[in-house]
């Protein structure tokens, strides 16, 4: 019986898990969740009301980082966290930074412009955009000296960064012509079969609200 992934197509965290599943060639089914009107099937399996949630037989796993590590430990395929304790520590640290800090400007933009959870404030919107742009500059400088983000090969750090950058483009935030290293890295990731197969059918339509 294939695994069942409760996912929202444009959620960067659920997107990460879809990429991991495809990288490891694990059969799975996707249950698309409407986060604005959550289905009862989803509410029964998700203790937090958030995506992704993975159902593997009698086992339920939630929180994207936990799910991805579960898949890494249980299933064969490329070692996306790395081969050594040192590599795994480095990748985990990057993911925690991405999910806990670097993604916050995008989360706040989504809360104001897409979900309506927070009151729209133009000054705050601009501040979140500026923070995101500063982070992209930092990534571009890092990629000037490295082929991948973290390890010297494709890893979960690349997966997490990639989905955030692509979702930011759905928000209308441009990569910028001057960030050549970031553009080169994005092309590398785009070319992977796992990434093509897991791509969202649509991204949040909030770009017109940024101007």
Q: Kindly report the CA angle at 159 between 44 and 199, in degrees rounded to 5? A: 70
- β-strand partners of 4: 29, 55
Residue with tokens 């579960």: 70
Predicted TM-score (pTM) of the model is 0.91
What pLDDT does residue 170 have?
Answer: 83
Dist. CA 6–CA 62, nearest whole Å:
10
**54-63 contact pairs (CB < 8 A, 24+):** 54/3, 54/4, 54/5, 54/6, 54/17, 55/3, 55/4, 55/5, 55/6, 56/3, 57/1
C-alpha dihedral, 26 to 149 to 152 to 64, nearest 10°? -30
Residue 63: which residues within 8 A CB-CB, separation 6 or more?
48, 50
Structure tokens at 195: 């990434």
174 vs 151, which has greater pLDDT?
151
What pLDDT shows up at residue 211?
47
Band (95; pLDDT cuts 50, 70, 90): very high
Confidence of residue 14 (pLDDT cuts 50, 70, 90): very high
Q: What is the pLDDT of residue 8?
A: 87
Q: Which residue has the higher pLDDT, 98 or 39?
A: 98
Is the confidence at residue 99, as pLDDT, over 80?
Answer: yes
């Amino acid at each position: 019986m294939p695994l069942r992934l409760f996912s929202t197509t444009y959620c960067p965290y659920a997107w990460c898990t879809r990429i991991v599943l495809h990288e490891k060639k694990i059969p799975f089914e996707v249950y698309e969740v409407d986060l604005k009107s959550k289905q009862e099937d989803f509410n029964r399996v998700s203790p937090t009301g958030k995506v992704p949630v993975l159902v593997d037989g009698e086992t339920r796993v939630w929180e994207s980082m936990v799910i991805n590590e579960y898949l890494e430990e249980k299933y064969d395929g490329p070692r996306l966290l790395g081969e050594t304790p040192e590599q795994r520590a480095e990748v985990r640290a990057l993911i925690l930074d991405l999910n806990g800090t670097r993604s916050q400007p995008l989360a706040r933009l989504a809360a104001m412009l897409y979900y309506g959870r927070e009151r729209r404030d133009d000054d705050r919107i601009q501040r979140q955009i500026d923070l995101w742009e500063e982070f992209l500059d930092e990534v571009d400088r890092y990629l000037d000296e490295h082929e991948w983000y973290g390890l010297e090969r494709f890893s979960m750090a690349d997966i997490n960064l990639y989905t955030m950058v692509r979702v930011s483009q759905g928000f209308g935030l441009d990569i910028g012509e001057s960030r050549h290293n970031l553009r080169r890295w994005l092309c590398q990731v785009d070319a992977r079969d796992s990434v093509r197969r897991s791509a969202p059918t649509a991204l949040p339509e909030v770009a017109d609200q940024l101007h």
